Amino acid sequence: MDILKTKNMTKSFGGVVANKDLSLTIEEGKITAFIGPNGSGKTTFINVVTGVHPITSGEIFFQDKEISKYESNQISRLGIARTFQKIRLFDNLSVIENVLVARKSFYKSGPISVVFNTKKFREEERQNKEKALELLDLVGLKDKAYESPKGMAYGLRRCLEIARALALEPKLLFLDEPAAGMTRDEFKVIMDLMLVLRERGITTVLVEHTMDFIKAVADWVYVLNFGEIIAKGPFDEIEKDPVVLKAYLGEE
Amino acid sequence: MKKKIIFGLIGLAVIFLFPIIDNNTYHLYLLNRALIHAILATGLVFLTGFAGQISLGQAGFYAIGAYSSAYFSTRLGLPIFLGIIIGIGISVLAGFLLSIPSFKLKAFFLSLVTIAFGQIINMLVVNLQPITGGPYGFFGIPFYHVGDYMLSFENVFWLLGVILLFTLYIMYKIKHSHYGRAMLAMNSDDVATETCGISTKKLKIAAFGFSAGLAGLAGALYAHLAGFLSPEPFTFFESSNFVAMAVVGGLRDMLGGVVGGIGLTLLPEFLRFGGWENYYLMVTSIIVIVIIIFMPKGLAPLLGNMFKKIFRVKSSNTKTL
Amino acid sequence: MLQDILQNIISGASIGATYGLVGLGVVFLWLTISRINFANISSAMLGAYLFITFYGMNLGFFLSFVFSVALIALYGLGLRQFIYEPIRKRGGGRLEFVVATLMLCTFWLNLIIVAYGALPRPFPPVFGKSTDFVSIGSIKISVLYLNIYFVIAILMVLIYILLNKTLIGKSFRAAAQNREAAALMGINVKFTTSLSFMMATCVVGIAGILLAPIYFVSVELGGGAIGVKGFASAVLGGLTNPYGTILGGVCLGVLENFSTLYISSTYKDVISFSVLILVLIIKPSGIFNWKSKRV
Ligand SMILES: Nc1ncnc2c1ncn2[C@@H]1O[C@H](COP(=O)(O)OP(=O)(O)OP(=O)(O)O)[C@@H](O)[C@H]1O
Ligand SMILES: [Mg+2]
């Protein structure tokens, strides 16, 4: 089963074509990796699918539903979550509040219930806090729940961003270079986490430069160069593909 | 915790008893205006400090609230209460409208649009003479009354106080809910907020609507307090005073609007009667600039810390006793 | 009929070009510091009042003009030194600058009222009287407007030379793009910022002296409406294009004159306000913003 499908997806910024006629599928329940040299359009792919940048032409289907014209928030509510290459946390909120922001669409209480502090609202608030703490526990941040994320270590901030994405209860999760700038130990935490997520049935799309990481977790790999797919397949095959080697070596 | 609440209640009681201690009519009138400004500035704290949007056209909503309530209660004979509700309603609708540019625009560009909005409303106030009375003014607006009983300035002070407290309560509850968190998130990063499944458009509409509603409420309350309206209090300069109140009070503080609204209403009057009758507005603007440069967080957090210190000293004193 | 139309275009364009000058004050600052000074229009009022003060001391047109402009330049320097820099150094953001300059606007207005009273004063007929005409065929053009054109033409040439034939234009752009990088390139950012503040206040001051014969010397020069017209002109030029800004102002002025002629004078100010809103919503990068650089 394909959870996501793109048809001739193209994105250009002025003259630069960052994604060119991409037609690809992401299989449900698997970990799919995107690799490619700098500037090959990996982040752009995530940005267009998650509605952060409007698509130039082509179509995107999520569970057979066309989402090309949807706003970012609608796409997120359908169950597509993401992290950013350059971490984007809400530094004016505490750690747990960051996670709770992504729980907003699970609340049913309107402003009136909030103002009158109804039982229903308090119950919802309790449940969502519990859920948020559970997610923080999963990424190892439970004991920092009420601190500010502002000065936290890079690895912890990345984990918080993942917890926030998971708070959407996504079916499809995009991680844009989650291991970049991480220590070996932190790196291991993320890798284990990805395997846990796969067990839970969450489809993950991973953009990474670290080949060890991809080798360890990816079920399927797409290789991008200049906005186009130049190779696809399991990592062991891709690794030896002369086209891929050339793309990487040609860059260096 | 309990101690805090008791101290808070005593503080409130003192404030509410104030009109009985000092019942000079002019002082009471001023205090009432201060409370009205506090309500309006609280709306701006919500819009700017929480939701991260800006409005330099708040006097426009203030005018809409004032003239609507005046018109419906004076010309159409509706009860004051209904006039105020209608005033708020029309302001909120105008606020929804002004939120549209904020979908695309930020900071300076948004402030330019809001200035133009304020100017257009001012223009309408001056030129729609059959409704507003134009430069000649709108007379005979009924003062606060319940049936045949005319409220005194003291009564109005208490009424406004209760409205302000209620406003603060609503804001407090909203801030500590999923809505408030979403607003603060949008203030920090709107792209990330969208990817959390939150429509920032809806939030902006709500934030503009809420602050416009409070400005409309303030305008309506002012209309019935003054009994007379002219275009002067609804200019660009009033809009900038309103923003100054919010900023001087403290945009990130629940009580910023209250501190700024009351402070910047009373300060010019202190100056005026303290021997600066010619220069009081100049001096006020200088003081505001100095506060903005040297205390960018505003006065409310400063006062908050001061109170905390005083309390601590007191509690330790009672212990040693 | 045709004559009316032409005359309206000519007078509208000259007033409009002055709005454009007010807009230039916005553009010069935006180019270097990406901030809007909401007390921009105060310089116009200050320029006009300084001019009549010096003129009243029998200094004559030329000296009065030079002295007023020099003082206004000094004021621009002060603006940078005492408002912009302290806010920037203390980590204050855009909002702090917005409110500080708004308050400055109030300050100058009240200072003028205290010093000169709130009543408008006549402006000496240094640019001729609006009732003196020069005839070109059947069209009569007021000397007043011709002289305004003359001053603006000289100014535009000066600005063109300054921005395109000297290093100033280049350093403006560099400072706008990246303070640190500009500093590395050997551009004196402090000097560039000072210069942009001075140029901004000076053009607006001169605009004030040109507008005074039309609006009288009154606090209205420092008030909302003309200020918004300046903003509207600048927005038409995308906040970055000085010539587009003047052109934008000219269009506003002409539009205003025609609406007075065919609709009603009471709503003529609404035009600028609506243009400002519409342009920002539909095309925030400006209408007259050719060779547009990203704002
Ligand atoms: N917002 C934008 N505006 C203009 N051009 C952009 C924008 N985002 C990306 N690009 C361009 O699109 C191309 C692809 O960029 P993208 O960020 O998708 O690459 P990437 O594969 O993620 O690279 P990296 O490995 O460095 O993260 C680049 O040429 C980049 O300059
Ligand atoms: Mg990338």
Q: Are A91 and B188 in contact (CB under 8 A)?
A: yes
pLDDT band (50, 70, 90) for residue C284: confident
Give the pLDDT score at B313: 57
| Digit-coded pLDDT (tens) for A110-122 | 999 999 999 999 9
The overall average pLDDT reported for chain A is 92
Query: Is residue A160 scored above 90 in pLDDT?
Result: yes
Give the pLDDT score at B148: 85
Give the pLDDT score at B132: 92
- Give residue limits of the domains in chain A: 2-249
pLDDT band (50, 70, 90) for residue C293: very low
Query: Is residue C69 scored above 80 in pLDDT?
Result: yes
Q: Which of 1.10.3470, 3.40.720, 1.10.260, 2.20.25 would CATH assign to domain B29-320?
A: 1.10.3470
Please report whether residue C287 resides in a domain. Answer: no
Nearest chain B Cα distance for residue C191, angstroms: 22
For chain C, the domain total comes to 1
Task: Find the farthest-apart pair of alpha carbons in chain A and give their distance in angstroms, rounded.
Answer: 66
Q: Which residue of C35, C42, C98, C103 to mutate against B (max B Cβ within 10 Å)?
A: C103
> What percent of chain C has a predicted confidence (pLDDT) above 70?
97
Structure tokens at A24: 């690809």
How many angstroms separate the CA atoms of B215 and B242, rounded?
Answer: 10
Whether pTM exceeds 0.90 = yes
Q: pLDDT per position in chain B (321 positions), as tens?
A: 566 677 777 777 777 777 777 778 888 999 999 999 999 999 999 999 999 999 999 999 999 999 999 999 999 999 999 999 999 999 999 999 999 999 988 888 999 999 999 999 999 999 999 999 989 999 999 999 888 888 888 889 999 999 999 999 999 999 999 999 999 999 999 999 999 999 999 999 999 999 999 999 999 999 999 999 999 889 988 999 999 999 999 999 999 999 999 999 999 999 988 888 788 889 999 999 999 999 888 999 888 888 777 766 555 444 444
| Digit-coded pLDDT (tens) for A205-219 | 999 988 888 988 999
Please list all protein residues whose beta carbon sits less than 5 angstroms from ligand 2, which is an ion: A 43, 85
Please compute the mean of the pLDDT values over residues C158-178 and round it to a whole number: 81
Which of A84-88, A185-189, C185-189 is least confident? Answer: C185-189
Query: Is residue C100 scored above 70 in pLDDT?
Result: yes
Please list every residue in chain C whose beta carbon sits closer than 8 Å to the beta carbon of residue B237: 105-106, 109, 224
Give the pLDDT score at B320: 40
| Ligand 2 center–CA A84 separation, angstroms | 9
- Give residue limits of the domains in chain B: 29-320
- By C-alpha distance, the chain C residue nearest B118 is C273
How many angstroms separate the CA atoms of B35 and B185, rounded?
Answer: 30
Please compute the mean of the pLDDT values over residues A93-103 and round it to a whole number: 97
Please compute the mean of the pLDDT values over residues A195-201 and round it to a whole number: 91
**3-class DSSP state for residue B105?**
coil
CATH 3.40.50.300 holds for A2-249: yes
Measured between CB atoms, which of A77, A88, A98 is closest to B197? Answer: A77
Nearest chain B Cα distance for residue C102, angstroms: 6
Query: Is residue C247 scored above 60 in pLDDT?
Result: yes
Give the pLDDT score at A252: 47
How many angstroms separate the CA atoms of A208 and A85, rounded?
Answer: 10
Active site residue A177: yes
Q: Is the ipTM of this complex over 0.90?
A: yes
| Digit-coded pLDDT (tens) for A50-65 | 999 999 999 999 999 9
How many angstroms separate the CA atoms of B73 and B79, rounded?
Answer: 6
| Residue A42 beta carbon below 6 angstroms from any ligand 1 atom | yes
Give the pLDDT score at B43: 97
Please report whether residue C91 resides in a domain. Answer: yes
Query: Is residue C21 scored above 70 in pLDDT?
Result: yes
Measured between CB atoms, which of A51, A73, A115 is closest to B198? Answer: A73
A215/B contact by beta carbon, under 8 A:
no
Who has greater pLDDT, B15 or A4? A4
B138 DSSP β-pair partners = B229
Candidates B132, B149, B156; CA nearest to B34 is: B156
Per-residue exposure over C55-75, b if at least 16 CB sit within 10 Å of its own CB, e if not: beeebeeeebbebbbebbbeb
Mark which residues 89-108 of C lie under 8 Å from B by CB: 90-92, 94-96, 98-100, 102-107
Q: How far apart are the first and last CA of chain A?
A: 37
Nearest CA, atom 19, ligand 1: A39
The overall average pLDDT reported for chain C is 87
Query: Is residue A250 scored above 70 in pLDDT?
Result: no
Would you say the C-alpha torsion A163, A168, A171, A175 has a positive or negative sign? negative
B128/C contact by beta carbon, under 8 A:
no
Nearest chain A Cα distance for residue B252, angstroms: 10
**3-class DSSP state for residue A84?**
coil
| Digit-coded pLDDT (tens) for A21-40 | 999 999 999 999 999 999 99
Length of chain C: 295
How many angstroms separate the CA atoms of A190 and A161, rounded?
Answer: 12
Give the pLDDT score at C84: 93
Query: Catalytic residue among A161, A177, A186, A208, which?
Result: A177
Please report whether residue C289 resides in a domain. Answer: no
B178/C contact by beta carbon, under 8 A:
no
